[in-house]
């Protein structure tokens, strides 16, 4: 039981990190310069980091939920 919880925790953490890294790479390809005022580079970077975390975590939660639902399908039959 404890090992199962530890595995789920590890999978969840890795999933979040992987999807945050993927989101970061995708957002780096976009040009945000026109959206921000000049001399507000620090604030712009913080906002991009927050957006990255929000999108990456949301996608990871979807992936983890989908994985959990797929594992619960065995109880249907």
Helix (H, G, I), strand (E, B) or coil at 36: coil
Q: 53 and 21 in contact (C-beta within 8 Å)?
A: no
Rounded to two decimals, what is the model's pTM?
0.84
Exposure of 17 in the CB half-sphere (CA atoms within 13 A): 6
What confidence tens digit (pLDDT) does each residue in 40-67 have?
A: 888 889 999 999 999 999 999 999 999 9
Taken in order 28, 55, 53, 15, is the CA torsion positive or negative? negative
Give domain limits for the chain.
1-74
What pLDDT is attached to residue 14? 96
What confidence tens digit (pLDDT) does each residue in 7-49 have?
A: 989 999 999 999 999 999 999 998 887 888 888 888 889 999 9
Taking alpha carbons only, the member of 21, 12, 27, 20 closest to residue 63 is: 12
């Amino acid at each position: 039981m404890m090992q199962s919880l530890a595995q789920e925790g590890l999978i969840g953490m890795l999933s979040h990190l992987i999807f945050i890294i993927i989101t970061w790479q995708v957002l780096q390809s976009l040009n945000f310069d026109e959206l921000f005022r000049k001399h507000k580079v620090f604030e712009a970077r913080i906002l991009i980091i927050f957006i990255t975390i929000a999108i990456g975590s949301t996608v990871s939660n979807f992936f983890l939920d989908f994985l959990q639902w797929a594992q619960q399908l065995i109880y249907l039959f």
